[in-house]
Structure 1
Amino acid sequence: MIKIQVNGARLACDETGTGSPVVLLHAGIADRRMWREQIDVLAARHRVVAVDLRGYGESELPTTAFAHHDDVAGLLDALGLARAALVGCSFGGAVAIDTALAHPGRVSALALLGSAVSGHDWSERTNDLWEALVGEVDPEDFAGTAAGEVRFWVVGPERDPADVDPRLIAFATAMDERALAAELALSAVDVAELDPPAIGRLGQLTMPVLVGAGAADVPDIRQLADRIAAEAPQAIRLPDVPDAAHLLPLERPGPVNAALLDFLP
């Protein structure tokens, strides 16, 4: 692990390999550890950087205002990289998209796995699923909230917890408890959002884009994958990966790694 000074904050990264650069951006319920099944595989061909976004994992959170997408561009500056491919899952996918829109010359390709999109409003169906599966949670009860979020996102609304590897559930829960503490701290900091947001600008993603999702993920995520693929001019939509939910790279590394190796420049 190394820490790199980026826009006034020290960001924790794992860096390995040589070749064309690839930056891995984690989900909001996780940290850079979620890429443990991808790093060594990709490093055989690429210079791979897995980063904890500001406030998450082992990265710092100064109280000054910032934007995650500007931090990604700043990370490339600090690493001496003119451009890189960005691979993002969930919230990390949204940050990757925002970076590509805010700094289009810095992004050579996008691989989006179960990606969120800034400006997207969750559907009534997804809100109803959350109420049915999780209900009210105390945001300061990290253990209880993490258990609910893992039930919703990692298990998924269409599976039973008994059908999912308990080691995955335990690891995801530990990452999410840490991420919830990060999000509570982030709520006290001015985090700038892309303006206008990405949801109405997907057609501006002119670089190659790979889009995938787990077949057991929430419906909105699969529909967002369809929309990105339909609107981004050079997008490729992978078939939904069977028996996988929101942390697709961690749960089904085989097909994810194969798709990334085939796609990344």
Structure 2
Amino acid sequence: MSMIELNGTTLAYDDLGEGSVVVLLHAGIADRRMWRGQVTALAQHHRVLALDLRGYGDSNLPENPFAHFDDVVGLLDALAIERAALVGCSFGGAVAIDATLAHPDRVTALALFGSAVSGHEWSDEANDLWESLIGDVDDEDFDAAAEADVRFWVVGPGREPADVEPALLEFAREMDRRALAAEAALGNVEVYELDRPAIGRLEEIKVPVLVGAGAADVPDICRLADEIAARVPGAVRLPDVPDAGHLLPLERPAVVNEALLAFLP
């Protein structure tokens, strides 16, 4: 693990391999450890930076206003890296898209798995699914909230917990408990957003884009992957990966690695 100071806060990241640079950006229910199945495989061909976003994992909580997408470029600046490919899952995908729109000259390619998009609004169907599967959860009870998140996102509405490897579920719960604490603390800090959210600007993305999702993910996520692929010029939409939920790179690393190694510049 390496540490670097950006805008008054110390951020943690892993730095492995040599070659063209790839930055891995984790989901909002996780931290950089969710990429444990990708780092070594990608580092055989690329320099891989797996970043804990500000407040998450081993990165410190911020005191000053900041933007996650600026932190991505701040890391590149600090390491004297001109351009990098960005790989994001869920919230990390939204950060990767925002970084591409805010700093288009710094990004060589985008790979998005189960990606969110800033400005996207969840459907009534997604809200109804949460209510039917989970119901009310005390947001201050991180154990209960993590259990709910993992049931909804990692298992997915079309599977049962028994369908997923128990060790993966426990690892996801542990990461999410830490992520929930981070999100609670981040609620007290000003986090800058794009002037115009990415959902209205996808056509502006000019780099190669790869889009994928797990077939067992929440339907909104699969539809959002379709929308990204349809609206970003030249984007490639992978087939949904069978028996995989929201943390697709963690659950099906071999499929993701094969796609990434074929795609990344």
Q: In which range does the TM-score fall when normalised by the shorter chain?
A: over 0.9
The DSSP-based 3-state class of the residue aligned with 2:121 is: coil
* C-alpha distance after superposition, 1:180-213 (max 9, x if no partner): 0000000000011112000010001110000000
Query: Contact 2:214–2:248 (CA<8 Å) still a contact in 1?
Result: yes
CA contact (8 A) 2:30 2:175 kept: yes
Query: 1:263 aligns to what?
Result: 263
Three-state SS of the structure 2 residue aligned to 1:55 is coil
1:4, distance to aligned residue in structure 2 (A): 1.0
1:101 equivalent to 2:136? Answer no
Equivalent-residue separation in structure 1 for 2:85 and 2:99 (angstroms): 11
Cα separation, 2, equivalents of 1:258 and 1:7: 36
Q: Secondary structure at the match of 2:86?
A: strand
Aligned residue for 1:215?
215
- Give the number of aligned pairs: 265
State the partner residue of 1:24. 24
Structure 1 range deviating more: 55-64 or 23-32: 55-64
Q: Determine the C-alpha separation between the residues in 2 that align with 1:173 and 1:131.
A: 20
Matches within 5 A, 1:41-56: 41-56=41-56
**What residue number does 1:198 align with?**
198
Superposed displacement of residue 7, structure 1: 2.4
Is contact 2:62-2:186 (8 Å) kept?
no
Runs ≥4 residues deviating over 6 A: none
What CA distance in whole angstroms lies between the structure 2 residues aligned with 1:228 and 1:253? Answer: 22
Using the size of structure 1 for normalisation, the TM-score is 0.99
- Which residue of structure 1 aligns with residue 36 of structure 2? 36
Q: TM-score by structure 2 length?
A: 0.99
Distance in 1 separating the partners of 2:232 and 2:126: 24
Q: Are residue 158 (structure 1) and residue 158 (structure 2) matched?
A: yes
CA-based RMSD of the aligned residues comes to 0.6
What secondary structure, in the 3-state scheme, does the structure 2 residue paired with 1:242 have? coil
Quote the Cα distance in structure 2 between the aligned partners of 1:231 and 1:8: 37
- Other-structure match for 1:122: 122
> Which letter does structure 1 place at the counterpart of 2:241?
V
Q: Which runs of 5+ in 1 are unaligned?
A: none
In the alignment, residue 23 of structure 1 is paired with which amino acid?
A: V
Deviation digits for residues 204-248 of structure 1 (CA, Å, limit 9, x no counterpart)? 111000000000000110011000000101210000000001000
Unpaired runs of 5+ residues, structure 2, are none
